[in-house]
Amino acid sequence: MIIESIVTNIENLDKATIQKHHIEKVYLESTDLTKRIQRVTTDHGKEIGIRLKDQRDLVAGDILFMDDKNIIVIDVLSDDLIVISPRNLQEMGSIAHQLGNRHLPAQFEENEMLVQYDYLVEDLLKQLNIPYSREKRKVKQAFRHIGHSHG
């Protein structure tokens, strides 16, 4: 089976629809969410080729296939993250500026900033005395580097 487009996201389905389907999952590393072409295997051993026509990243919960009985959905493996919890706007601005200068991709969930674990970032947070924790956590989207130059 070759998947060329995403059906929808499982969050767009109501519970009754989900419950009447057998669900198979494709577990991906968050870095694999950016790959438009790849071969994957479901948790039930079914091999699937993904060749997306659209220029888009995969997102946790994307449905690759759906019929009257079955759904094949993307799930993401946990990442090793630094979860930064600044106490105020000044701390948020300070750490955002520092991480931006390093071109590190970040994600935001409520009042937390998430970055992939890096011992140098951990050392910086200790130096700046900004609260953080190291956690294994699933993210919905890939950490994407944004390319640009300082020219």
Greater confidence (10 vs 147) lies with: 10
Question: What share of the chain in percent tops pLDDT 70?
Answer: 95
DSSP-based three-state secondary structure for 46: coil
Give me the domains of the chain, ranges plus CATH numbers.
2-76 (2.60.260.20), 79-137 (3.30.70.790)
Q: How confident is the model at residue 145 (pLDDT cuts 50, 70, 90)?
A: low
The mean per-residue pLDDT over the stretch 59-70 comes to 95
pTM value is: 0.78
List pLDDT tens digits, range 16-54.
Answer: 999 999 999 999 999 999 998 999 999 999 999 999 998
pLDDT at res. 55: 87
